[in-house]
Amino acid sequence: MAMEGEANQKLLKKSVAAEVSDGGEDEPLKDRIWSETKKMWIVAVPAIFTRLSTFGIYVITQAFVGHIGSTELAAYSLVFTVLTRFAYGILLGMASALETLCGQAYGAKQYHMLGVYLQRSWIVLTICSIFQVPLFIFTPPILKALGQENKIAEVAGDISPWLIPVLFSLVVSFSCQMFLQAQSKNMIIAYVAVFSAVVHLCLSWLLTAKYKLGILGAMASTVLAYWIPNIGQLMFVMCGGCRDTWKGFSSSAFKDLWPVIKLSLSSGVMLCLELWYNTVLVLLTGNMENAEVSIDALAICLNISGWEIMISFGFLAAASVRVSNELGRGSSRAAKFSIKITVLTSFAIGFVLFVFFLFFKGRVAYLFTENDEVADAVADLSPLLAISILLNSIQPVLSGVAVGAGWQSIVAYVNIISYYLVGIPMGVALAYFFSMQVKGVWIGMLFGTFVQTVVLIVITYKTDWDKQVLLARTRVNEWFVAEDASHKTGTSA
């Protein structure tokens, strides 16, 4: 057995060496840039439209709720930023394991494995969602225990049960997105996401502005908007859109779940630590003076930043797919080149938005509120918002590189140190001991993001990408052997 294993490793190394040479090194630089840019945008454009449309659902709801009342806006912002971001972080993080698994398997041309991984992801994410339901049932006492105002917490309790169907919609949404992105077939995701956002806008106006149904109308439209894309994605996957990678439901989905669970857990921790970072910012703001205005202003700033970060998340998806595909294919040079193109493109867009919001200031706040005090607070936070946008144009792309290469556990440690041992303590010190209030919290947390970005740049730069190719191909080979053994066992049984 040992000799057979050594022989397999030698054969694998020869395969990798042969494929590494097929990385397009002989092409002129401008041709390589053009070729890689096209591959990047094939993934990035649908991913950006999808994320903008999905985030747009949240913003549309917030805009209509904001015109119902200031307390309702603060409550909705708290529920969505604290509880839904918590659930969103766990599920999106765990689903990102599918990016690594499907991306590298697709690059290695083991197409049949993608459908099985998708079904395994459904199982893992559904179980995870069930455990999160109590958070949405016992929202008021949770928010009060976290120090939020009683009035805001009680209104939040009327909103949170509506988000349980949204929670389970994320299971299908995230897993199908990762599955389709790995194959660069995510244009269908963009179509259904845009359609859903348009339906949500029209229905929200009808239910809240015309028929005055208030929170009931806004949240009913929100639930529908999150489920519409899932129907379209599932129909595409199961009705012939993925003939090579979807072979129907299989009992193999219930076997060998541990590799998926292990990678899902590390992926979940990695992304949760990032998404919960802003949640801490909102919670700290809720304990300050004039909390309602502070939360409203901060929520608006985070929404503006959120629009920009959705663009960066599109490039995160592109980086993940391109890196995982090239590592699975066996080309280290192509993987490195794709990283450079994706990071530079995302940074260029982020820099333009940085300059725009630096001078635009708080006038956009009136899209979300009619309160002049809140708008003035937004204008005061605008410089920090611009810096946040600039950092967000780089950091998510590097996280995408980590997902593509399967470094989730490493990045989780980086996030703990930079966010929770550097950013949050500094923010608390500036806010409470130096009386800088919301600005202090945000400055500290921006510094944590800066530290994380620098560390990820250093890790990416110093990585031996030839070794990463070998690790990726070894991983795919092990998955293939396990699947083959599982099929043989099933057949003999």
Is 78 within the bounds of a domain?
A: yes
Among all chains, which residue has been given the structure tokens 């990045």?
Answer: 411
What pLDDT band is residue 8 in, cutting at 50, 70 and 90?
A: very low
Q: How far apart are CA 80 and CA 84, in angstroms?
A: 5
What's the CA angle centered on 452, arms 447 and 458, to 5 degrees? 130
Burial class (CB in 10 A: 0-12, 13-18, 19+), 96: buried
Is 25 within the bounds of a domain?
A: no
DSSP state letter for 119:
H
Q: Could you tell me which residue, 367 or 71, shows the higher pLDDT?
A: 71
Is 312 within the bounds of a domain?
A: yes
Q: Which of 22-26, 141-145, 289-293, 477-481 has maximum average pLDDT? A: 141-145
Q: What is the pLDDT of residues 450-469, one digit of tens each?
A: 999 999 999 999 988 888 88
Token representation of residue 424: 């949050």
CA atoms within a 13 Å half-sphere pointing along the CA-CB vector of 133: 10
Distances in Å between the alpha carbon of 254 and those of 250, 264, 419, 486? 8, 15, 36, 11
Burial class (CB in 10 A: 0-12, 13-18, 19+), 67: middle
What pLDDT band is residue 59 in, cutting at 50, 70 and 90?
A: confident
Among all chains, which residue has been given the structure tokens 């993940």?
Answer: 320
What pLDDT band is residue 485 in, cutting at 50, 70 and 90?
A: low
276 C-beta neighbours (distance < 10 Å), count: 20
Is 20 within the bounds of a domain?
A: no
What pLDDT band is residue 196 in, cutting at 50, 70 and 90?
A: very high
Return phi, psi of residue 381, to 5°: -90, -5
Is 10 within the bounds of a domain?
A: no
Q: What is the pLDDT of residues 140-151, one digit of tens each?
A: 998 888 777 888
Is 5 within the bounds of a domain?
A: no
Percent of the residues in the chain that have a pLDDT greater than 70, as a whole number: 83
Q: What is the pLDDT of residues 380-433, one digit of tens each?
A: 787 888 888 898 889 889 988 988 888 877 888 888 888 888 888 898 888 888
**Arithmetic mean of pLDDT over the chain:** 81
DSSP state letter for 109:
T
Domains held by the chain: number: 1
Q: What is the pTM of this model?
A: 0.77
Q: How far apart are CA 268 and CA 256, in angstroms?
A: 19
Domain holding 143, by residue range, is 44-480
Q: What is the pLDDT of residues 300-343, one digit of tens each?
A: 777 777 778 888 888 988 998 899 888 888 888 888 999 999 99
Tell me what pLDDT residue 11 has. Answer: 40
Task: Quickly list H helices, 146-246.
Answer: 150-159, 163-181, 187-204, 214-236
What pLDDT band is residue 282 in, cutting at 50, 70 and 90?
A: low
Is 189 within the bounds of a domain?
A: yes
Instruction: Provide DSSP, 390-412.
Output: HHHTTHHHHHHHHHHHT-HHHHH
Is 9 within the bounds of a domain?
A: no
Tell me what pLDDT residue 340 has. Answer: 92
